[in-house]
Amino acid sequence: MTQQPYNKPLPQRSPENEEFWAGLESGEFRVPRCNNCGYWHWVPYPACRNCLSTDQTWTKTGGKGKIFSYTVVHRGPGGFRDDVPYVLAMVEFPEGPRNPIVLGTMVDVDPDAVHTGMPVKVVYEEIPDEDVTIWHFAPDD
């Protein structure tokens, strides 16, 4: 049986986000944290969104959070068409006050069972032949 090529968009790695992708490859979900004020933020940005300091460190999170908001996608674009219906969730991590909130797809869940406040965990998917690991969220029972 021949493996099907991965037909979804792949991330664009850059020097600014390399620590994030390296973390995923080692099973860690890392987020920038300001060394000046302690603010955690997502998505990566050259300066802290709270105090504008450029002194930041990619810091491992606990990899768990709660659904802040979500939507069920019934008509997916491109490579996601065969996955419908699927859940796209905004997940709030406990590492900061109302931040970081990270967007990701849900796996291993019935879309009808998803609800705000639902505990979730980060799960990792290695993409064959692409040398990249991506993240999803799954229920954390």
- pLDDT, tens only, 24-42: 999 999 999 999 999 988 8
Percent of residues, the chain, with pLDDT higher than 90: 64
Q: What mean pLDDT value characterizes the chain?
A: 90
Question: CB-based contacts of 30: which residues, under 8 Å, 6+ apart?
Answer: 19, 20, 23, 58, 59, 60, 61
The reported pLDDT for the residue numbered 121 is: 98
Q: How far is CA 76 from the centre of its chain?
A: 18
- Average pLDDT score over residue span 83-97: 89
For 59-72, what is each residue's pLDDT tens digit? 999 999 999 999 99
Buried residues in 104-133 as b, exposed as e (16+ CB within 10 A): bbbeebeeeebeeebebbbbbeeeeeeebb
Q: How far apart are CA 52 and CA 57, in angstroms?
A: 14
Residue 98 has pLDDT above 80, yes or no: no
Single pTM value for the model: 0.88
